[in-house]
């Protein structure tokens, strides 16, 4: 595998379900991100992790719970979601700020989530 | 506050023609970075090109070039010799100021390449 991978690619869940999104990067980066992309809305940053530590929580509801066990893996745990949470969830990685080598973010293919 | 503006919701271009996608930005920083991403219907955001504010030359990557006009605060993407596979959403983004690697995205331009 190369680049940034995300699983599953598609997910349908009920409002009472618990599910997790997984992201893995093979680029040797040490910063990872979760974004939400809803129809007709700009890309919204949700969480940022630098060296496994969460450095940004963009006022995301607690029904979204991120986990970053190491610099290569990032999870987004979902529980009791609402229909308005249906969106494309994108993961990205980059070098952490000030680490050199550029800070360009590279994205995964996304998970299309539908909450019924 | 920093802001990215893409005024073209959608554009058409004929195959093999060149097309310019507009992007203007607002920042009070002297040092900043500008990015363009392509998002096909499959969803993945694909990095295309980067321009640093202190770069004296416009960035180029294959058929992509960035027309950077610092005084006008514009960073337009030029795609030469358009191909059918170029049909996608295109997003302009800027790195936020300060000790962060967060990006601010524009609303995007949908490009349709016609045969």
pLDDT, tens digit (0-9, with 9 covering 90-100), for B7-32: 999 999 999 999 999 999 999 888 88
Q: What is the pLDDT of residues A70-106, one digit of tens each?
A: 999 999 999 999 999 999 999 999 988 766 556 899 9
What is the structure's pLDDT at A49? 94
Q: Which residues contact B8 (CB under 8 A, 6 or more apart)?
A: B21, B22, B109
Residue B102 · residue A48 · CB < 8 Å: yes
Q: Do B102 and A56 touch (CB under 8 A)?
A: yes
Q: Nearest C-alpha of chain A: how many angstroms from B102?
A: 8
Q: Write out the H or E segment, with its range, that includes residue A52.
A: none
Residue B26 β-bridge partners: B3
How far does the CA of residue B84 sit from the closest CA of chain A (Å)? Answer: 20
**Band (A18; pLDDT cuts 50, 70, 90):** very high
Please list every residue in chain A whose beta carbon sits closer than 8 Å to the beta carbon of residue B109.
Answer: none
Burial of B98 (0-12, 13-18, 19+ CB in 10 A): exposed
Q: Which residues pair with A23 in a beta bridge?
A: A6, A74
Check CB contact of A102 with chain B, cutoff 8 Å.
Answer: yes
Question: Does B47 contact A106 at a Cβ distance shorter than 8 Å?
Answer: yes
> What is the C-alpha end-to-end distance of chain B, expressed in Å?
41
Q: Does B28 touch chain A (CB under 8 A)?
A: no
Closest CA in chain A for residue B46: A107
Q: Given B35, B91, B107, which is nearest A104 (Cβ)?
A: B35
The per-residue pLDDT for A99 is: 60
């Amino acid at each position: 595998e190369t680049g940034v991978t995300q699983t599953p690619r598609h997910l349908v869940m009920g409002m009472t379900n618990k599910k997790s999104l997984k992201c893995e990067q093979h680029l040797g980066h040490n910063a990872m991100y979760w974004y939400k992309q809803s129809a007709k809305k700009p890309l919204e940053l949700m969480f940022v992790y630098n060296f496994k530590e969460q450095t940004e929580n963009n006022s995301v509801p607690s029904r979204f719970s991120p986990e970053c066990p190491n610099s290569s893996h990032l999870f987004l745990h979902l529980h009791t979601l609402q229909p308005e949470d249906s969106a494309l969830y994108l993961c990205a990685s980059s070098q952490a700020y000030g680490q050199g080598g550029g800070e360009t973010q590279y994205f995964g293919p996304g998970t299309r989530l539908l909450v019924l | 506050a920093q802001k990215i503006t893409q005024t073209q919701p959608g554009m058409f271009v004929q195959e093999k023609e060149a097309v310019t996608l507009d992007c203007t930005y607002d920042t009070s920083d002297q040092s900043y970075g500008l990015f363009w991403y392509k998002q096909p219907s499959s969803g993945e955001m694909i990095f295309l090109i980067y321009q640093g504010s202190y770069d004296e030359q416009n960035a180029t990557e294959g058929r992509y070039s960035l027309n950077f006009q610092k005084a006008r605060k514009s960073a337009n993407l030029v795609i030469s010799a358009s191909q059918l596979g170029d049909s996608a959403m295109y997003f302009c983004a800027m790195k936020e100021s300060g000790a962060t690697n967060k990006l601010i995205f524009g609303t995007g331009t949908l490009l349709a390449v016609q045969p």
